[in-house]
Amino acid sequence: MAAPSFNTKDLSQTNMNKTGFSLVEIIISVLIITIMSAGMLGAFVGGQQLINRSSHRLQAMNFAREAYDRLRANHYYDADPEMTIGGGKTPAGDLGAILKGGMTAFSTALTYDVSSSDQSAYKEVIVHVTWTEPVL
């Protein structure tokens, strides 16, 4: 029985045919995935800020509409000091309780202006809601 022959040429060719990933390939792929994840995270954060701003704008519109409806429902506006002609008025009493919820944490202010071309004519009411949008 003859001893098996050992050829170094065969050994070097088998090592070259092995498949797998090198360390450099793995590092580059992890770097690409990290960059893509950071971009997607930025998109999610930007989307959340847009949703929050839209929600705050909608709440402000609802506050203004509620204040306007309460002022409009006031049938005795000639004798009511809240309905005297002037600008930058801050609502008091029942009107002051309109601002509620999360918007009160953003230094929200509700003011209104009353104007009229004639004291006996209809009065125009403009309601302003201002707030400071939080920065993330």
pLDDT at 1 (0 to 100): 59
pTM beyond cutoff 0.85:
no
Output the DSSP codes for 44-81: HHHHHHHHHHHHHHHHHHHHHHHHHHHHHT-TTTTT-G
pLDDT per residue of the chain (136 residues) written in tens, 0 to 9: 566 666 655 555 555 556 788 999 999 999 999 999 999 999 999 999 999 889 888 988 888 888 888 777 765 555 556 666 667 777 766 666 777 777 777 778 888 777 777 766 677 778 888 888 877 6
